Structure 1
């Protein structure tokens, strides 16, 4: 996704002789800010009459590197999550990535039931298989895919779960996509696939990033479906987005053994011109509404670690 943040204005070449030039570079130890200060004889060159070659020949800039520690996003996220009230018995994990800088952070760990967020992974697996076969999705597959993502239709998901080869097919796709901690549910229990927030962030990068096993056409197709979620399912990470600047998939599942809810949300959101990928997983929620509120609070906290940059 292209960022809508305003670009900085370029400084005219002839102004170099009159002002300090700041160049930013990266090192393993942190971000290095290099300040180039004009020599006195450079400043004597008239900005109205000097040519670029005269400015360059008037003297070389002195370089004074200054190292500043990189921002600890994980620590910022941990601090932000202190404002999120997690109900007794509930568990929560969240991961976020800023698409412009590539920086990311995660809070919490452990595996969670995917519930319906696995449907993004199922469609990614189907698209990979179609790419390998050099074919387009069939009309039936497209019908199932639309219902599965936009309306979270379970029957359509079961049909495509069979098509990709169930858990074995999902595992083969995930090995290529880079998901290392996701295990498909047994038999037809695709909703009990186990995953982590970090793995879901990796999946989102495959869908919304440019460096992907999925073709450009496959990514565009999946993104389009995730941007047309049914109105009654537009909650979760989309709650922090600017207007309609979101694409998501939610998952919700009441566990029959406990009566408690799994509530998950993954997607891309735009906040103050910044595009972020966010994955929030939770379980042990007393009600669906309580889980939705928890997930949205965690999503807000996650995106806040990049605010003001």
Structure 2
């Protein structure tokens, strides 16, 4: 009788324990086991997916507002003139060029090339003597031909024009006989002006000095483009004009001006009987029309 009671009590105890296991297993009182770890991992992955931010397409970069026209800008130009004339205007902010249909036709530069002769020397000789610096100033301000011949020699003559083409990215120009006979198109002259203005030509040390010299050329050499500009712009415009009546009976009058956001070049060739003023007036007419 005692054995049967003991066995019954044991069975009742085991039954009570088995009834309690599912509740304890599903509670937070026990840590995960190998059998329970898989659902936990699944829950973790689901949470990561639900918490991940939704990706949106990157917004388009803001469009820069269009630049206002430069003081001198592309426009229709008409000049009633005998002989050859061409022009190019360059936007210094963008490098954009516009010009006459014959803007790629090369003509003799005359004294216009002196701005490059000074640039080439100063870039390669950043510590010039006082004497040479004075000669450079005379060459730019007063268009001294002897000084130009001197620096033409120091610059290596035609080698200087080769460097000009390479440094300033010219496409229509070449050396010919002497410095005054250098052949250059209107669009290349504008490129040269931009090259001087941005420092590639004379280098960082001397660019400001050279531009100041070009802003202070002798009064009788500020013909053509400068008088056609608003009075407020004239003093700040750098110029180097070229003019020569050659033995072939023709005047070559060329104008180069560098403004704050533009460069303009005008080349002319016409019968010598018309005088220098004829070419000067063509330069002025083009500059006026490009301000319209």
TM more than 0.5: yes
Query: CA 1:239/1:167 → structure 2, altered by over 3 Å: closer, same or farther?
Result: same
| TM-score when normalising by structure 2 | 0.69
Cα offset for 1:281? 0.8
Pairs within 5 Å for 1:171-210: 171-186=162-177, 189-209=178-198
Alignment partners' CA distance in 2, 1:182 and 1:102: 19
Q: CA offsets per residue over residues 27-80 of structure 1, 9 Å max, x none?
A: xxxx8xxxxxxxxxxxxxxxxxxxxxxxxxxxxxxxxxxxxxxx9xxx953xx2
Pairs within 5 Å for 1:37-116: 77=75, 80-82=76-78, 84-87=79-82, 90-107=83-100, 108-109=102-103, 110-116=105-111
Determine which of 207, 215, 229 is the counterpart of 1:227. Answer: 215
SS at match of 2:86: strand
Q: What's the counterpart of residue 248 of structure 2?
A: 257
Determine which of 132, 140, 158 is the counterpart of 2:149. Answer: 158
| TM-score when normalising by structure 1 | 0.65
Cα offset for 1:175? 1.3
Alignment partners' CA distance in 1, 2:236 and 2:201: 25
Cα offset for 1:203? 1.0
Pairs within 5 Å for 1:3-42: 24-25=63-64
Matched, 1:283 2:269: yes
Q: CA offsets per residue over residues 115-148 of structure 1, 9 Å max, x none?
A: 1001011112112222xxxx41222221111111
116-125 or 213-222: bigger deviation = 213-222
Structure with max Cα Rg:
2
SS at match of 2:171: coil
Q: What's the counterpart of residue 239 of structure 1?
A: 227
Greater than 3 Å deviation, 4+ residue runs = 23-26, 100-103
The answer to whether the 8 Å contact 1:237/1:269 transfers is no
The answer to whether the 8 Å contact 1:116/1:252 transfers is yes
Cα offset for 1:172? 2.6
The answer to whether the 8 Å contact 2:89/2:99 transfers is yes
Alignment partners' CA distance in 2, 1:126 and 1:76: 33
Larger strand proportion of the pair = 1
Cα offset for 1:161? 0.6
Cα offset for 1:240? 2.4
Larger relative contact order, structure 1 or 2 (CA cutoff 8 Å, min sep 6):
2
Alignment partners' CA distance in 2, 1:240 and 1:167: 34
Query: CA 1:234/1:129 → structure 2, altered by over 3 Å: closer, same or farther?
Result: same
Give the gaps of 5 or more residues in structure 2: 1-61
Cα offset for 1:151? 0.2
Could you say what the CA RMSD is over the residues aligned between the two structures, in angstroms? 2.3
The answer to whether the 8 Å contact 1:125/1:174 transfers is no
Cα offset for 1:247? 1.0
Query: CA 1:92/1:138 → structure 2, altered by over 3 Å: closer, same or farther?
Result: same
Alignment partners' CA distance in 2, 1:213 and 1:294: 28
